[in-house]
Chain A
Amino acid sequence: MKEKRAQDPNDPVLPAVEERELVYGGLEAGLGEVFEVPIGPIHPALKEPIRLTFKVRGERIVGVQVRTGFAHRGIEFMGMRQGRNLIQILYLSERICGICSISHPIAFTQAVERAAGIEVPPRAQYIRVIISELERIHSHLLWAGVAAHELGFDTLLHLTWRVREKVLDILEELTGNRINYAIPIFGGVRRDITPDQYPKVREALRYYRGLLNELLDAFLRDPTVEARTRGVGILEPKEAEELCAVGPTARASGLRKDVRQDRPYLAYPDFEVKAITPEDYGLTPMGDVYDKIVVRLLEVGQSIEIIEKALDNMPDGEITSFPKIPALLAHLKKAEGEGLGWHEAPRGEVIHYVRLVSGEESPLVWKVKAPTYSNLMSWYPMFEDQEVADIPIIAACIDPCICCMDRVYLVRDGKEEILTKEELLRLSWEKTRRMAR
């Protein structure tokens, strides 16, 4: 394939990639020919559909172009216009991401609670925190396994995923399902943590506490992992800040950025969460893949501490301020206003915006921002001057969740459109006018 592939303009599946000046990617002319390597949208190496077009010179990547929009599901549209009430939309929001399946409902319930003026009892806040931290343990272990798999170290993948089973069992014990826990509801949670479940959770936490050093050993003191990840996919702190990276991706570059620390919500002020960077492990942050492994594994330890503290200081009382569903539905129907909800998902910051109108069961506006949306741009500096063999691990190191991120896809008259900045601005003005009415 030559640099400029002859593209059929009528090709309906893969429309012509817009040739743009790359912000990052150093296209200086040099020796050797530049080839274009398209990966995706459907590719055996990808778990989710996305199109990455690499410009390579020999084994070096000189440029990358990311194209998304292949997995748009229109979840917000289903919530806003299809006559669903907010309780039904809650379960829809849970299915935005299969792995962060409490992060999105927590952000969504917070947004609705702020809009409708609903108080959450302290015990319910603690239960939400416990479940979301358990989810962080499971998600980070899942990512560590995937990272090992992308490095070609499948023994480590199976080892990590075997120990991950324990936290899934605990989540099943507490909520009723291994994933899609369905635990938060507006004004509280649906299931209480009963006294006989405390020892089981504590036992699992002991198990992980003992295991954490073993995992850190297996990942960080292993010469193979170090050789494959040190200096690979570097994201400088300045770039991370400029490109608005969030979550472990930003923290691995040394930015102390964590929603739980910067804008505490629910019961998080009680735990005084501090953002974790590789400095806490005695390393200078480089922002490479190794640092991302460090941050995620240390966050497993942080989550264990938070859950232990939460179990020790669990307040008594109600778990929901609306025990009767008809009363809740009536209150939500009367509610009017707008609300913003946020949560530090395992991958970074999730934001939900909701605007309720009195007399309507479904919200007028529901906007979702998934963490991968913020992190995707950091691929550009990360891929710069890397080797082709490192593509899978660099792509995986931001823990991408493509389906959560694909939030907008514009098709007009059967044709896909790419909007310019001015057009987007105009659309946002129109939307503001429509909402102000």
Chain B
Amino acid sequence: MIFKTLLSQALSRPATNKFPAKYMPRSILGFLAKVQEGKARIHPPVPVPPKFRGKLAYDREKCIGCQLCIRVCPAKVIEFLPEVKKIRIHVARCTFCAQCVDACPTNALSATPEFLLADTDRNSPNLIVE
């Protein structure tokens, strides 16, 4: 039964998307260094749907400091800055439920499609939104 499927598989293209490079580079780190220098390009990941919940974006101007996002956040990601009455988001702990986005009365928070968030330091500037 399964042989027919297997034969058709042998002729069809792989189901997976090649990422980050189309062909296996000799060294992944060397390839990533080349990407940073602009000599090579990352093969793009599969596009995400419009409702995708990725890294949070914060509009500082719209925020009124009501702290509702802090009340609903399950992972206690959001830190309140009392002096300026604004918030700071530690994305490294975020669970990407986007409940804060739903709760925000002024639409200051939004979920972006960005999901390549791997980092060696949880406090790196890439992972802190303010």
Residues of A in contact with B (beta carbons under 8 Å apart) = 84-85, 87-92, 94-95, 155-156, 159, 162, 165, 172-177, 180, 182, 190-191, 214, 217-218, 221-222, 325-326, 329
**Residue B32 interfacial (CB < 8 Å):** no
| A326 x B74 contact (CB < 8 A) | no
**Residue B127 interfacial (CB < 8 Å):** no
| A91 x B99 contact (CB < 8 A) | yes
| A176 x B53 contact (CB < 8 A) | yes
**What 6 A-B pairs come out closest when comparing CB atoms?**
A91-B74, A325-B103, A176-B53, A88-B74, A182-B97, A176-B51
- Asked, given contacts A217-B1, A218-B1, whether A174 binds B51 with beta carbons under 8 Å apart, the answer is yes
**Residue B96 interfacial (CB < 8 Å):** yes
Contact of B15 among A162, A180, A222 (CB under 8 A): A162
| A172 x B2 contact (CB < 8 A) | no
- Looking across the interface, which residue of chain B has its beta carbon closest to that of A156? B2
- Asked, given contacts A92-B74, A172-B52, whether A180 binds B2 with beta carbons under 8 Å apart, the answer is no
Residues of the A chain whose Cβ atoms lie less than 8 Å from the Cβ of B35: none
| A172 x B49 contact (CB < 8 A) | yes
Residue among B2, B68, B98, B111 having the largest count of chain A Cβ atoms under 10 Å: B2
Residues of the A chain whose Cβ atoms lie less than 8 Å from the Cβ of B51: 173-176, 191
Where chain A touches its partner, the secondary structure class is helix
Residues of the B chain whose Cβ atoms lie less than 8 Å from the Cβ of A180: 95-97
B5-39: which have CB < 8 Å to A?
5-6, 9, 15
Task: Write the nearest CB–CB distance from A189 to chain B, whole angstroms.
Answer: 11
Complex formed: what's the CA distance from A87 to B74 in Å?
Answer: 8
Complex formed: what's the CA distance from A159 to B12 in Å?
Answer: 13
Residues of the A chain whose Cβ atoms lie less than 8 Å from the Cβ of B97: 91, 94, 180, 182
Residue among A87, A89, A90 having the largest count of chain B Cβ atoms under 10 Å: A87
**Residue B93 interfacial (CB < 8 Å):** no
Task: Write the nearest CB–CB distance from A203 to chain B, whole angstroms.
Answer: 14
| B102 x A325 contact (CB < 8 A) | yes
Complex formed: what's the CA distance from A426 to B122 in Å?
Answer: 47
| A329 x B71 contact (CB < 8 A) | yes
| B2 x A218 contact (CB < 8 A) | yes
Task: Write the nearest CB–CB distance from B17 to chain A, whole angstroms.
Answer: 11
Task: Write the nearest CB–CB distance from B29 to chain A, whole angstroms.
Answer: 28
Residue among B5, B74, B75 having the largest count of chain A Cβ atoms under 10 Å: B74
Residues of B in contact with A (beta carbons under 8 Å apart) = 1-2, 5-6, 9, 15, 48-49, 51-53, 68, 71-75, 95-99, 102-103, 111
- Asked, given contacts A162-B15, A190-B102, A222-B1, whether A177 binds B96 with beta carbons under 8 Å apart, the answer is yes
- Asked, given contacts A156-B2, A326-B68, whether A177 binds B74 with beta carbons under 8 Å apart, the answer is no
Task: Write the nearest CB–CB distance from B64 to chain A, whole angstroms.
Answer: 13
| B74 x A84 contact (CB < 8 A) | yes
| A325 x B2 contact (CB < 8 A) | no
Complex formed: what's the CA distance from A222 to B52 in Å?
Answer: 39
Task: Write the nearest CB–CB distance from A75 to chain B, whole angstroms.
Answer: 12
| B68 x A218 contact (CB < 8 A) | no
16 A-B pairs in the complex with CB atoms less than 8 angstroms apart: A85-B72, A87-B99, A89-B74, A91-B97, A159-B2, A159-B5, A176-B52, A176-B53, A176-B98, A177-B96, A180-B96, A214-B5, A217-B1, A218-B1, A222-B1, A325-B68
Task: Write the nearest CB–CB distance from A167 to chain B, whole angstroms.
Answer: 14
Task: Write the nearest CB–CB distance from A323 to chain B, whole angstroms.
Answer: 9
Residue among A88, A90, A155, A159 having the largest count of chain B Cβ atoms under 10 Å: A88
Residues of the B chain whose Cβ atoms lie less than 8 Å from the Cβ of A87: 72, 74, 99
Complex formed: what's the CA distance from A162 to B8 in Å?
Answer: 14
Residue among A155, A176, A180 having the largest count of chain B Cβ atoms under 10 Å: A176
Task: Write the nearest CB–CB distance from A407 to chain B, whole angstroms.
Answer: 20
Residues of the B chain whose Cβ atoms lie less than 8 Å from the Cβ of A173: 49, 51
Complex formed: what's the CA distance from A102 to B106 in Å?
Answer: 29
Residues of the A chain whose Cβ atoms lie less than 8 Å from the Cβ of B1: 217-218, 221-222
Q: A176-B51, A182-B98, A221-B1 are in contact. List 9 more A-B contacts (CB 8 A).
A: A88-B73, A92-B74, A159-B2, A177-B53, A177-B96, A180-B95, A180-B96, A182-B99, A329-B72
- Looking across the interface, which residue of chain B has its beta carbon closest to that of A172? B49
Residues of the A chain whose Cβ atoms lie less than 8 Å from the Cβ of B9: 159
- Asked, given contacts A85-B71, A329-B71, whether A155 binds B48 with beta carbons under 8 Å apart, the answer is no
| A222 x B2 contact (CB < 8 A) | yes
Residues of the A chain whose Cβ atoms lie less than 8 Å from the Cβ of B74: 84, 87-92
Complex formed: what's the CA distance from A56 to B83 in Å?
Answer: 69
Task: Write the nearest CB–CB distance from B114 to chain A, whole angstroms.
Answer: 13
